[in-house]
Structure 1
Amino acid sequence: MKLRRLSAIAYKETLQVWRDPRSLAVALLMPAMQMVLLGYGVSLDIRHVPLCVYDQEQSQISRALVADFTDGGWFDVVSRLPDEPALRAAMDRGTCAGALTIPVDFTRVLTSTGAANVQIVFDGTDANTTNIATGYAQAIIAQASADFQSRWGQAHALPAPTRGVVDLEPRVWFNEGLDSRNFIVPGVVAVILALVGSQLTSLTVAREWERGTMEQLISTPVTALEMMFGKLAPYFLIGMLDAAFCLAATVFWFHVPFRGNLLALTVTTGLFALVVLGIGYLLSVRIHNQVGASQVALLVTLLPTTMLSGYTFPLDQMPLAVQAISLIVFARYYVTILRAVFLKGSPLAWLAAPVFALVVTACIIIWLAARAFRKRLD
């Protein structure tokens, strides 16, 4: 392999990218757009759930209970309804996702017995929102109930229990605030690299076929390895620059904590970029049409990265057959590394398994891509 020939191919490919507005748009604008859209648009946190209230009593205690629902920002009271039919109509129209009903004798029962019932109904058409909102409501009611019980016990001169009491004090490590942005945004880097890298390199060789310049390349003494590395070199540099931009935005714009080693992050990002670029180049060699190569690259890289990498959906909750399929999804290992480096601060030695999987995948893809190119026109 001659460095002079390799650099000539790399220089030629750089000129083609520079003169192609579409490639420049993919390389420069798409990462910024995707970072904004995915960083702000994808979130598992549910806040400001619209809540309708049917308070039959309108007492000080019932109003205090409603205030408990809104104080934390988890619920917003969008309507106070006068009767049961109005509540049902509001739920049917989608005005509110939940409806809180407080009975007319709420204060009397609560002050006389120390316990009372309220009802909250959720719209179950969105199961994820309903499950999370139900958990919020249960926590709010549990806290309000504990406060009421304490005040009721003091009012009735009942001693506080001294035996058989267990207090649970949960502690969350690595993502202390349980902010889903800290969980999701690092994975956005994998999605952007998979999208940009595969789309750019899937056009490299296919472009030569469509423009009729493949005959000139074949007639030169350039080898298959020189062709592959020369074609991929500019895109590898672009991919690393895009990754640097996305990672910087993750830390400084979205304020995701970075606790790991920058060298470990750089090495693993380079490995992932090689895998993605190699897949795009392989498809470009096999498919002599830019549109076809681009579409297949999108299917092979972006879809598994978003669905089977653990980026948005937890893999351990999927069926065993799907979990087994995800083992061959290269993005799964990079997403694991990103979250471990960002949130846990794991050194490279502790990430031996996913790093080894990326190395093996990169070697296989590069080997297949190098063997795919043949210096003939058939």
Structure 2
Amino acid sequence: MRLIRLKAIAWKELIQIFRDPTSLTLAVSIPVLLLILFGYALTLDVDRIPTVVHDLDRTPRSRDLIDQFLRSKYFQLEAVADNYADLQNKIDRGQALMGLVIPANFSRDLEADRETAIQILVDGTDANTATIALGYAQAIVTLYSQEILAHKMNQLGIGSISPPVEPRIRIWFNPDLESKNFIIPGLIAVIMVILATILTSSTIAREWERGTMEQLISTPIRNSELILGKLIPYFGIGMFDLALTVVMGRFLFEVPLRGSGFLLFSLAGLFLLGAISQGVVVSIIAKNQLLSSQISIVLSYLPTFILSGFIYPIDNMPKLIQG
């Protein structure tokens, strides 16, 4: 392998990229657009749940319970229903995800030390969101019940009772449980695969369509020199896009960047090398720019978004797909 021939092929491919404004625009704009679009639109956080309240008791006790819901960041008062049918109608129309019904004897039962019940209606169309919303509601009601119980124990002079087992919870890697700390790094990997595969899918196919492949074959250039020479410019573009998306994730989305930056870019370089190699293989097989771009879109979008574990956990997939 001669270095001078390798540099010549790489320089030729770089000139082709700069002469093709479409490819150059895609190389710069796709990472930025995808990161901004999915970074703001795609979130797994469930908060500000639209809630409709039907309070039949209308006492300070019932209002205190409602305030417990509204003081949290998870629930947002959408409307106050005048009757039960109005509450059902708002959930049916999608104006609210959850309904809270407080019975008329709520405060009286609490004062009489009787067990009382409230009704929580949740729209289960989205099972995941409904489960999370129900968990938030149960936690708030449990905390409210504990406060009432502690107040009554103080009135009786019993004092507080410490639980025999106290959990001390420590969350690793994402202490604030913010989905952006998971989504943004995953998006960077997804963007690298999609961009590298699509851009390199037309490298060899373009030579066949323009009739320049025969000229390259007639030269002393070896196959390995031709492939590597065409990979080098796209590898450089991919590393530039990687640095760009990492900087955007750190400063635009405030995702913490901890650990070795050298290790990050080294492993990302190996990952990128596999992605651009996949695009070149598609380009060699297809020998047509339109066909190769279509194949590369299927090979990059489908696995990275659906089968990679980025959105859907791999453990929940059928064993055959898990491999």
Match of 1:120 in 2: 120
Structure 2 distance, partners of 1:56, 1:88, is: 15
Match of 1:354 in 2: none
1:55 and 2:55 correspond: yes
Match of 1:149 in 2: 149
Cα contact 1:195–1:301 (8 A) shared by 2: yes
Distance 1:156 1:106, change over 3 A: farther
Structure 2 distance, partners of 1:111, 1:153, is: 14
CA deviation map 1:118-168 (0-9, x unaligned)? 111101111121011111111111111111111122234445446x63332
Please list, as runs of the form range in 1=range in 2, the aligned pairs for 1:90-239 lying within 5 A after superposition: 90-113=90-113, 115-161=115-161, 165-239=164-238
Match of 2:264 in 1: 265
Give the superposition deviation at 1:287.
0.3
Match of 2:320 in 1: 321
5+ residue gaps in structure 2? none
Structure 2 distance, partners of 1:84, 1:242, is: 55
Q: What TM-score, normalized to structure 1?
A: 0.83
Structure 2 distance, partners of 1:82, 1:153, is: 36
Match of 1:294 in 2: 293
Letter aligned with residue 12 of structure 1: K
Structure 1 distance, partners of 2:213, 2:252, is: 44
Cα contact 1:61–1:107 (8 A) shared by 2: yes
SS in 1 for 2:130: helix
Structure 1 distance, partners of 2:146, 2:115, is: 10
Structure 1 distance, partners of 2:24, 2:207, is: 18
Cα contact 1:52–1:98 (8 A) shared by 2: yes
Cα contact 1:114–1:148 (8 A) shared by 2: no
Structure 2 distance, partners of 1:258, 1:110, is: 50
Cα contact 1:187–1:311 (8 A) shared by 2: yes
Structure 2 distance, partners of 1:2, 1:159, is: 85
Cα contact 1:111–1:152 (8 A) shared by 2: no
Structure 1 distance, partners of 2:169, 2:3, is: 59
1:283 and 2:282 correspond: yes
Structure 2 distance, partners of 1:321, 1:114, is: 54
Give the superposition deviation at 1:19.
1.0
Give the superposition deviation at 1:27.
0.4
Structure 2 distance, partners of 1:278, 1:219, is: 24
Letter aligned with residue 28 of structure 1: V
CA deviation map 1:238-277 (0-9, x unaligned)? 0000001111112222121222111111110110111000
- Of 114-123 and 203-212, the range deviating more from structure 2: 114-123
SS in 1 for 2:112: helix
SS in 2 for 1:4: helix
Give the superposition deviation at 1:114.
5.9
The number of residues matched between the two structures is 323
CA deviation map 1:333-368 (0-9, x unaligned)? xxxxxxxxxxxxxxxxxxxxxxxxxxxxxxxxxxxx
Cα contact 1:102–1:119 (8 A) shared by 2: yes
Give the superposition deviation at 1:300.
1.4
Q: What TM-score, normalized to structure 2?
A: 0.96
Letter aligned with residue 275 of structure 2: V
SS in 2 for 1:113: coil
Cα contact 1:114–1:149 (8 A) shared by 2: no
Match of 2:252 in 1: 253
Match of 1:2 in 2: 2
Cα contact 1:55–1:102 (8 A) shared by 2: yes
Match of 2:13 in 1: 13
Structure 1 distance, partners of 2:113, 2:29, is: 64
SS in 1 for 2:100: strand
Letter aligned with residue 73 of structure 2: G
Distance 1:108 1:155, change over 3 A: farther
Letter aligned with residue 142 of structure 1: T
CA deviation map 1:143-195 (0-9, x unaligned)? 11111111122234445446x63332322112111111111110111111011
Match of 1:87 in 2: 87
5+ residue gaps in structure 1? 325-378
Structure 2 distance, partners of 1:287, 1:190, is: 25
SS in 1 for 2:235: helix
Structure 1 distance, partners of 2:317, 2:171, is: 24
Structure 2 distance, partners of 1:114, 1:253, is: 53
Identity value in percent: 41
- Of 293-302 and 152-161, the range deviating more from structure 2: 152-161
Structure 2 distance, partners of 1:114, 1:228, is: 79
Cα contact 1:114–1:152 (8 A) shared by 2: no
CA deviation map 1:311-330 (0-9, x unaligned)? 22222233333222xxxxxx
Match of 1:336 in 2: none
